Every structure is written in structure tokens, then in C-alpha cells.
Structure 1
Amino acid sequence: MLDILPSTMSSNLTLFSVVVFGPLSLLTAFLFFVINLKARKEHALVPGSLPWVGKTNEIFSAVRSNWRGLVDSVTLFRTGYRKHSKQNEIYVVPTWTKGPQVILPPSMGGWLASRPDAILNAKDCTFETAQFKYTVGHPEITSNDMIDLLIKGPLTKTIGALNPELVEEIEGSMETLFGVDGEWRELGVFDSLTRTVGRVANRVFVGKELCKNMEFVMAGTDFARDISVSSYILHMFPKFLKPLVAKFATIPNRRHSGIAMKYLQPLIKERVENMKRKAEDPEYDWEEPNDFITWMVRESLKRTTEDETSVYSLSYRIVLLNFAAITTTTIMSTNALLDIWSAPNADEIVASLREEAQRVLNEHNGEWTKAAVAKLVRLDSAIRESSRLSGVGGTAMARRVRAENGITLPNGLVLPKNATVGIAMDGLHFDEAYYERVHEFDPFRFSRAKEQAQGAEKPRVNEDLVTTSVHWLPFSHGIHACPGRFFAANNIKLILAHILLHYEIEPFAARPPNMSIGDISVVPVKATMRIRRRNVKA
């Protein structure tokens, strides 16, 4: 009887394999089929006359080239720029999140930046790239203009006036994270700056109390990460499968946005009630805070639709504001810190930046006024240079063709509706026609001319962090240049200036490398730094 056990077990294992792995194999084959079909459909949007970079005549060429766009985008962008952009030619590069992207040469950058939204639309491209329909939802909120108006209006206008409050949060955050005792601590660069940037930005967004709540702050930053991760997953699948996949892929999105909403809804409900009561009774003993919630509620009271006036919709806008504002600021701050303290002459660079910060602060009676921050030309240059060298991605000025009949490019080529176009930012930033020693971190590349210029020449020298051009694109360019770049630049400079004046960082032996995922440059989130307080508090 024992003789038949091995045979029976073998039969059972075979049956198990057929029952379990058979359907799994069929499912895998089906998914690969529909994913490849989706890629082929996207690739068919591109005129056949255009050359490709990263796509060859091979089996399953569409899906395989998209995969290259995910894992080896830097090679594709730089190859395409060298072979085609430098020859003033248009080409196509496969991307994971934008499908095949038609890359225009730098000579067409000004033309692209000035096209109206009815023809080439930036938001359409952003929403599709981040899969907002599934990762964020609420199209009636995401497509509304309220946040953009408030960023361009009161947020930008109050830069400088709110700096004392921002500095207060920088001090509080760094004393908590880095200590005040002068002892060396080893901490994560990205995590430390995420917490500081989140706390500082939210001082303006939600006020003095809630900005210190790290559960709220980190929920917002986690939500931003969730959008990126879930969008990459969703881009694998065709439209008919996305609603099903999204139910599972966006579970973290809903969890983290829910945590943030738990804190925001009571706060905003109370603010709305107080502002309405104050409007009805000027004697009511309450003073409205000067923050984003107040500006938003004030704007909402001029509007009538539910998605512009409800407590829920206003609260969700603050969640989205955190996604938009904190991610880029944290990435740029992290890159700048790593580039400065990884340079071969880091000690010399830090000494120069520290001297400037101390001198400027002394000139302004120890206060970081708007004028004082504007005088940090060396620090501004170092951040701009870091953004050139380390960057935020491979392409910029991404636009989707919205015109029903397509669009005719300056060279006469017609692109159909839903095709995606852009400029090769990575190639531009490493083009020796525009920059000398392109692979070298030269922190004062953009400040030398300012410091050397005399008298009337100074106003003409204007290559600062917030100045965009078709040759420097981290904040995009033209009518859709990032409206929050002034707030972001102000905060980055305040944060780094505070580190320079009050902390010592041990230089890195080598720059922890960024990693490219698709056309996004991801900072080394696990990189650590050794840091201690310089001027120890008693």
C-alpha cells in the first residue's frame, strides 16, 4: 500500500498544478495580450513618418518599447536629443505614463509654450499622466480653477509677509528632528526634508496648530506618493480594466486622503461658520487667520455650486494642494542638499553660502524679509544648478492635442487629437551649446554674472531660480509655468539658509544617485546624512 503513495501524491500535485497554474497562465497571457493591444493602439496615434528612439522591429515591439521607457528613459532621452533634437528634428520616445511622446526640438519650444489650451492642453496631459480619474477622483474639483487662482493671487502676493511664521516652523521642525545639543545624528535626508517642507508649507495652508500635526502632514505626502505608484500600475491596463484595478491599486490613496480629511473637515467647517458670522456681525469677537483656508473660503462664498462651496470639496482641495506643493519642493530641496554637500569642494561651497546668508541676514536686522531672501543670489544659483544637473524628469512642457482636427506643427507635420508632445528637458540641461562643463555641479554658475555686474547692468542679469526659459524647464515655461514656483523657491531658500547658519552636515563621500523611473527622476529616499547643531542652545 505504501508503494502507491508516491504515485498518488504525484497525481494530486499534477492535478493541483493544472487547477491552479492553468488559469493563472491563461490570465497572464490574457493580460499581456490586452496590455500589448493598448500599447499598439497608443503607438498608432503617432505619424508613421517620424523616427523612434527605443522602438525596433521586434515581436511585441509596442509594449517592449514602453518598458524601455520605464526602466531606461535617460538613455532614450539623451540618445534622442543627440541624434534628432540637435539636428532640429522631431522624434518619438516611448514612455510608460504618457504613451508615445512626440519630442519637439528646442527651436519649437517657444511655439509650444504659447499654444492655447483649446489646441494643446497641459491639464489634459497631467490628468492622464497621473490618472486623476482613478487616483484622485472628483473631476469637478480637480478641473476647477479655484486653487490656481489662489496660488497666483494671495499666496504669491503674501510671500515675504508670512516669512516670520515660516521661519518659526523651520526652527521648530529642525530642533525636533536634528536636536539642539550639538551631538551628531544620522537621519534620512528625504524624510527630514519632507517633514520640514510639509510643516512649513502647511503653516500657510492650514495654520499654526494643524501644521505641527505630523499624522496630518505625512498623510498628505503619503497621498502624493500613492498617486504616483497607483498611476504607474494603472498605465499597464486598458480602459475597460482600469475601474476594477483602481479599486485595489488606490486603497492607499483613499486611506491617506481620509486621514487628512479627518483633520481638515472640522477645521474648515468652523472657519466657514466664523467667516459667515463675522460678515453678518462685524462686532463678533473673532479675527480671521491670514492663511490659505481663509482665502479659499472667501473665494467660495462668491460661488454657488456644491463642488465650490461644500466643506468636503474645500477640504479635498487642501489635500490636493499638499500633493502639488510639497512634492516638488521636497525633491528640489533634497537634490540641492545632496549636490552641495557631495561636491568635491563642499567645504568651500558651504563656507561661501554660509557667509552670504549671515551677511544678508545682518543687513536686514536678523529678519528674512522678501528683500533679504532675494539677495541670496549664491544660494539661489546653487538650487537652480542642482535642478539643472539632478532635475525632476526627462521631458517638460508636456501637452495633449485637444483640437478635434489635430494640430499642424511649425514644420507642417499634423498630429492627431490625443497625441502627446513635449520638449527633451534632460537633453537641454546637458547641452554644451547652452552650458559649459555640463556634467559638473557648478553652484555659482548663475550668480557669478550678478555678483560681477555693476550698477545699471545688474537688472539685466536675471537667471534666478524662478526665471523660466526654453533652455531651463524644471518649472516648465510659458502660460503653464508652475504658478507655485515663487512660494516653493522662497521656502527652499529659507530651509537651506537655516541649515547653513545653524547646522553642520558631514560632507558625503559620493553623491547618492537618483534613479529614473519612466521620465521621473527619483531622489535617493534612503540616503542618510550626519548632522549636528552648530550654535548649541543652552
Structure 2
Amino acid sequence: MLTQYLQFAADRLGQKKTLDQLQAVVTSKQGVVGITTAVALIALANHFRSPKIDRGCPQVEGKGWFGYATEEFRENPGKFLSEWHEKLGPVYGVKIFGHYATVVSGPYVREVFLDDRFSFIAAITKLFDPNLMTDSGHSSEQTAKNAADSIKRFLSPNLKHYTPRVIEHLNLGIEDWCGEVPAEGIEIENAFPFLQHLVARASASVFVGIELAKNEELVDSFQNMVSNISSGLKPKPWLEYFPSLTKLGMYMIGKTNPAVKRHRTQMANALRPEVDRRLKAMASNDTNWDRPDDMLQHILESYPAPEGLDVITYLINWMTQLIFAALHTTSENGKVVLYRLLQHPEVMEELYAEQNEVLAAAGYDESAGPEVFDREMLNKFVKLDSAVREACRLKNEFVGLPHENTTDKTLTLSNGAVILPGEFVYINQFVNHRDPELQAAIDDVHQFKPFRFVGTDHNAAKVSEGFVFFGMGRHACPGRWFAIQEIKTIVSLLLRKYKVEPIDPIVFSNQERDAFPIGPCRIRLTPRKAL
């Protein structure tokens, strides 16, 4: 009742007034007391209202308020998941993150991924809704299904065709950032913005075309939109008990955050002249028009804007969803791979040697630059592919990939665990990615072994119970082939052009919200030709 009331009240306040009042409440002494009291009341109400049913699986004995285990989990997520898995088995219930959920590992993850009654989109939208945060309208106007469908139909089948374009724009991105690198090399203060820029340039060439990929403001939005906007949604553990307020917070970011307006304006200014030109040529059947070959053109032809919605606004909403779903995740996962390699510089030299072997077999000598790379060569970099999969396997993902029971019926897993309507199932990625049986009898599952998958049929884009990084089944990430190829291409180009070395030690955290090394990662690039 409390959360419904708060949402009711918030919906009736002006946008700016709502934000000011919420901020005043949160920062005041009375507000802190009120929030603390409300959290306690919510927890108490949930405790007594929880259905007294047989859950069909063992339960975690929470030590926090009314049986919640969130605090214990966040103290050491890996230890928490390992110990409770050993005590309770692959499926158990737990009160965590402000609600009851079922944690699933082992072969049981397949049951969740392959059952359409469990929805990842429904669950993740409740936790993090980019449509709300970017003022992109209702999800029905540009559905996640359309985005996934467009990637499957247009992007993934054409990776070979787009590889030269991606390589060209990655080289341009390196030039943007580094200029002419002297023989003694240069120092980059933080590798992540550099990596973000490369992903933005390369992805833009495929998503909006070669010419628009040169637009600095558009590339800026492709590179920085997510970090500029989501920085306003800082973790607030007490909000986990108030999903309606979490939604309200995302809504307010979309309506009031200046970064949202700036990026939407930048994209509109960049897209409008080009879209107008394309629509005019399409309407007149201009035979002299050279039809562009990119995602933007595919959207214009295959997914017309709903009636009453301005086409530019519609396309901005499309691109925003692609930026959140594709570019942002590729940048973050590329960071995981690059930082693991920087943690082991000797591995990078072995990957460079692999390049020379593949190039020699294709008739090139060691002086050949990255411009000769193609998709077939990238596929032959099997050590690199193994290193990418291994880095992703060890990414700090603990429990994630939430799936909601979207039916009005209780669902039962094969082991007897019951999931009520509206409840979440979390995938225990930490355990599955470190299970010796699922990792083909690997006995050093907690160590980074870059070449452990060489000679196996486990490439970096292949999903399984032992590698749920991209999900599984029909709803596995449709863009994983593009993401993996882009990461591999970036690493390959950097290694071909430079000797890449870390300046500071690379240390990965073991905390829930720290998937990457803490602090900036300074690197040195020294030209290979100078060496």
C-alpha cells in the first residue's frame, strides 16, 4: 500500500517539484527517519504477508531484517554463493534485494532460459529501464523484440561484409585519440574512455553509416550517453524495498537530466538531414540514389514509425536502445577482456605471435598491418577467442540475468521449486562459471587461464550451462557475435600496431558492483614498427 500511495502522489506532482521534494525528503533528518521506518514497515509487512507455502526447495537463513540476506551477500558475494550452494544445492530460495527470489544454478538454468513464461525483459525493465531514463516513450513504440529481430535479420548475417568498415573506423578512432604515436610511445591516462571511443566509432559505421559515423556529436552520444545518464541513478539499497520509487527515479532522470536533453538534441541534429535525404529518395524512387547499407536504412525500410510519432523521435529512441543494449555492453565487456590481458602482458605477446602465424599462412609477412585483417583471419585467432571467453567467464557477475514469472500461475521447476506469479529467478552465474563439471573437468576454475578453450568447440560466442554470459536458448543475446567480433578486432588492431603495457598494477575487485579494476587504468602504447 505504501509504495502504491507514493507512486500515486508522485504522479500528481509537477516534474521539477517532484524531484525537489524527493531530494529534500531524502537529505533531511526527518526524511532519513521516515525512510528507515518505511523500510522496516515494508519488511515487516512482507514478512507477515509472505505466503506460507512449501517452496519446494531449501531456504537461505537470512541474518538481516526479517530474514533478508542482502547485507551478508554484499559483504562477499562469491563466498556467499559458494557456501550456500554447497549447503543447499543448485536451487534455493532467498530474501534478497528487497524481495523473495529463487537462485538457480547447474543444469536447472536451462529450464529457466528455455521457458517463455519466464521473462528477462520484464524483470530487467523493473530494475533498469532505459526507456524511462532517456525519455524514449513507452516500450510498445519501440520494442525490445524489434531490436533483437533487427540484429538477427540484418546485423549478425552480415558480419563478414562489415568487417572492413569496422577495421577502417577503429583505425580512425585510434588516430582520433592517439594522433601520431612517437617511437618512444605515449601514455593513456585511462584505457576505458579510449576503448569506449573505439567501440563508438566502429559501431556507428554499422548502425548509422559511414558518413554519420564521422559526426563528432553523434559519436559523442554513442560513446558517452549511458555513463552521462546512468550516473544519476546511484545505488541506494533502501530503494530496493520501493520498486515504484525506483521507477520514479528513472522517470525523473529522463524528464529532468540535462544530459538526456543534450544527447537527444545531438542525435536529432545529426540524423535529421540524412534521414530527410533518405526518405525523399525512397519516396521518389530515385534511380541515381546510392542506397546506404546500415542499420538506420534497415529500420527505415522494415520498422516504420507508429502513427502519430515523429520519425526523428522514433529513430532517436531506436538508437538509444541500441546504445544501451549493444554499445555500452560491448564497451564494458571489451574492458574486461583488455584489462585481463593487461594483467598478463606475456599473453599479449603470444597473441601477437599467433597473428604472425595466421598472416604467414595467408601469404603476408610480419610487416603487414591490421588493414589486411578480415573475418576469416579473425576466426583463426583461436588463442584470442579463448582468452576472450575466459575473461568473460571470470567477469564479476554473481547472481544476475533475472527472469520474472509473468504468468498468473505458480511455475514449478523439475526439482520441485515453486515460483509464484511476479517472482524473480536469479541465475547463479558465479557458481556455474566455476563449476568443474560444467567447465569440462577444469580443476583451476578460479584462475585466469587464457588458452584453456583452445582445441575445444567452446568459442567465445557459444552459450551453454557452463557459459551463461549471454544467456541461453532462443532469447540468448542476439548481438553476441557482433560484440565478440568487435572486441576481438579491437584487441587485434591494438596488438598489431602497438606493444600495449599497463603502467599500474591491474587488480580486479571481488565486490558486487565492481566488475572492473578500481580506478583509472593507465597504459603505454609503443609502436610495433619502432620496436
Task: Give the Cα–Cα distance (whole angstroms) in 1 for the partners of residues 459 and 52 of structure 2.
Answer: 37
* Matching residue of 2:521: 527
1:123 aligns with 2:131: no
Shift of 1:155: 0.9
* Matching residue of 2:193: 191
* Matching residue of 1:417: 421
Q: Could you tell me whether the CA contact under 8 Å between 2:59 and 2:93 is conserved in 1? A: yes
Task: Give the Cα–Cα distance (whole angstroms) in 2 for the partners of residues 46 and 133 of structure 1.
Answer: 37
Counterpart of 2:314, as a letter, is: S
Deviates more, 1:372-381 or 1:27-36: 27-36
Task: Give the Cα–Cα distance (whole angstroms) in 2 for the partners of residues 54 and 317 of structure 1.
Answer: 44
1:482 aligns with 2:483: no
Q: Secondary structure at the match of 1:387?
A: helix
Q: Could you tell me whether the CA contact under 8 Å between 1:396 and 1:473 is conserved in 2? A: no
Q: Secondary structure at the match of 1:530?
A: strand
Q: Could you tell me whether the CA contact under 8 Å between 2:225 and 2:263 is conserved in 1? A: no
Shift of 1:437: 1.0
Q: Classify 1:340/1:522 alpha carbon distance in 2 versus 1 (closer, same or farther; 3 Å).
A: closer
Counterpart of 1:377, as a letter, is: V
Shift of 1:525: 5.0
Counterpart of 2:358, as a letter, is: V
Q: Classify 1:506/1:126 alpha carbon distance in 2 versus 1 (closer, same or farther; 3 Å).
A: same
Q: Could you tell me whether the CA contact under 8 Å between 2:91 and 2:102 is conserved in 1? A: no
1:358-415 per-residue CA deviation (whole Å, 9 max, x = no partner) reads: 33345456632222211111100001111112x1521244210111012122123322
Counterpart of 2:421, as a letter, is: K
Q: Could you tell me whether the CA contact under 8 Å between 1:381 and 1:444 is conserved in 2? A: yes
Task: Give the Cα–Cα distance (whole angstroms) in 1 for the partners of residues 518 and 216 of structure 2.
Answer: 22
Q: Classify 1:132/1:101 alpha carbon distance in 2 versus 1 (closer, same or farther; 3 Å).
A: farther
- Percent identity, aligned pairs only, is 19
Which of the residues 500, 510, 514 maps onto 2:509?
A: 514
5+ long unaligned stretches in structure 1? 1-19, 450-460
Deviates more, 1:276-285 or 1:156-165: 276-285
Shift of 1:515: 5.5
Q: Secondary structure at the match of 1:103?
A: strand
- 1:407-486 to structure 2, matched below 5 A, reads 407-433=411-437, 434=439, 435-447=442-454, 449=455, 461-486=456-481
Task: Give the Cα–Cα distance (whole angstroms) in 2 for the partners of residues 240 and 490 of structure 1.
Answer: 39
Shift of 1:505: 1.8
Q: Secondary structure at the match of 2:159?
A: coil
1:368 aligns with 2:368: no
Counterpart of 1:405, as a letter, is: K
Shift of 1:266: 4.0
Larger Rg belongs to: 1
Q: Could you tell me whether the CA contact under 8 Å between 1:220 and 1:257 is conserved in 2? A: no
Task: Give the Cα–Cα distance (whole angstroms) in 1 for the partners of residues 335 and 182 of structure 2.
Answer: 24
Counterpart of 1:161, as a letter, is: H
Q: Could you tell me whether the CA contact under 8 Å between 1:400 and 1:420 is conserved in 2? A: yes
Task: Give the Cα–Cα distance (whole angstroms) in 2 for the partners of residues 80 and 222 of structure 1.
Answer: 39
Task: Give the Cα–Cα distance (whole angstroms) in 1 for the partners of residues 352 and 51 of structure 2.
Answer: 52
Shift of 1:235: 3.7
1:332 aligns with 2:327: no
Which of the residues 379, 387, 390 maps onto 1:385?
A: 390
Task: Give the Cα–Cα distance (whole angstroms) in 2 for the partners of residues 510 and 42 of structure 1.
Answer: 46
1:11-63 per-residue CA deviation (whole Å, 9 max, x = no partner) reads: xxxxxxxxx99x9433211111223444556673796755444722x5x346x
Task: Give the Cα–Cα distance (whole angstroms) in 2 for the partners of residues 24 and 266 of structure 1.
Answer: 41
Q: Could you tell me whether the CA contact under 8 Å between 1:166 and 1:200 is conserved in 2? A: yes
Q: TM-score, normalized by length of structure 2?
A: 0.82
Q: Could you tell me whether the CA contact under 8 Å between 1:219 and 1:256 is conserved in 2? A: no
Counterpart of 2:481, as a letter, is: F
Which of the residues 35, 40, 47 maps onto 2:39?
A: 35
Shift of 1:248: 5.3
Q: Secondary structure at the match of 1:504?
A: strand
Deviates more, 1:403-412 or 1:277-286: 277-286
Task: Give the Cα–Cα distance (whole angstroms) in 2 for the partners of residues 68 and 213 of structure 1.
Answer: 48
* Matching residue of 1:151: 151
* Matching residue of 1:274: 277
Q: Secondary structure at the match of 1:145?
A: helix
Q: Classify 1:240/1:146 alpha carbon distance in 2 versus 1 (closer, same or farther; 3 Å).
A: closer
Q: Could you tell me whether the CA contact under 8 Å between 1:401 and 1:419 is conserved in 2? A: yes
Q: Secondary structure at the match of 1:532?
A: strand
Q: Secondary structure at the match of 2:464?
A: coil
Q: Classify 1:215/1:466 alpha carbon distance in 2 versus 1 (closer, same or farther; 3 Å).
A: same
Task: Give the Cα–Cα distance (whole angstroms) in 1 for the partners of residues 379 and 46 of structure 2.
Answer: 46
Task: Give the Cα–Cα distance (whole angstroms) in 1 for the partners of residues 293 and 34 of structure 2.
Answer: 55
1:509-528 per-residue CA deviation (whole Å, 9 max, x = no partner) reads: 6432235345x724535222
Shift of 1:256: 2.8
Q: Could you tell me whether the CA contact under 8 Å between 1:109 and 1:423 is conserved in 2? A: yes
Task: Give the Cα–Cα distance (whole angstroms) in 1 for the partners of residues 425 and 248 of structure 2.
Answer: 29
Task: Give the Cα–Cα distance (whole angstroms) in 1 for the partners of residues 118 and 484 of structure 2.
Answer: 28
5+ long unaligned stretches in structure 2? 1-23, 365-370
Shift of 1:216: 3.5
Q: Secondary structure at the match of 1:441?
A: coil
Task: Give the Cα–Cα distance (whole angstroms) in 2 for the partners of residues 65 and 504 of structure 1.
Answer: 46
Task: Give the Cα–Cα distance (whole angstroms) in 1 for the partners of residues 74 and 308 of structure 2.
Answer: 40
Task: Give the Cα–Cα distance (whole angstroms) in 2 for the partners of residues 418 and 34 of structure 1.
Answer: 22
Number of equivalences: 488
Shift of 1:71: 5.3
- 1:293-308 to structure 2, matched below 5 A, reads 293-301=296-304, 304-306=306-308
Which of the residues 79, 88, 91 maps onto 1:75?
A: 79
Counterpart of 2:38, as a letter, is: V
Shift of 1:496: 0.2
1:296-339 per-residue CA deviation (whole Å, 9 max, x = no partner) reads: 111134x65345x7220111210221111122212222222221
Task: Give the Cα–Cα distance (whole angstroms) in 2 for the partners of residues 142 and 267 of structure 1.
Answer: 20
* Matching residue of 2:161: 161
Shift of 1:468: 0.3
Task: Give the Cα–Cα distance (whole angstroms) in 2 for the partners of residues 37 and 255 of structure 1.
Answer: 35
- 1:234-383 to structure 2, matched below 5 A, reads 235-236=239-240, 238-239=242-243, 241-242=245-246, 245-246=249-250, 249=253, 254-301=257-304, 304-306=306-308, 310-343=311-344, 346-347=345-346, 349-364=347-362, 367-383=372-388
Counterpart of 2:208, as a letter, is: V
Deviates more, 1:504-513 or 1:421-430: 504-513
Shift of 1:243: 6.5
1:92 aligns with 2:97: no
Task: Give the Cα–Cα distance (whole angstroms) in 2 for the partners of residues 145 and 305 of structure 1.
Answer: 19
Q: Could you tell me whether the CA contact under 8 Å between 1:53 and 1:79 is conserved in 2? A: no
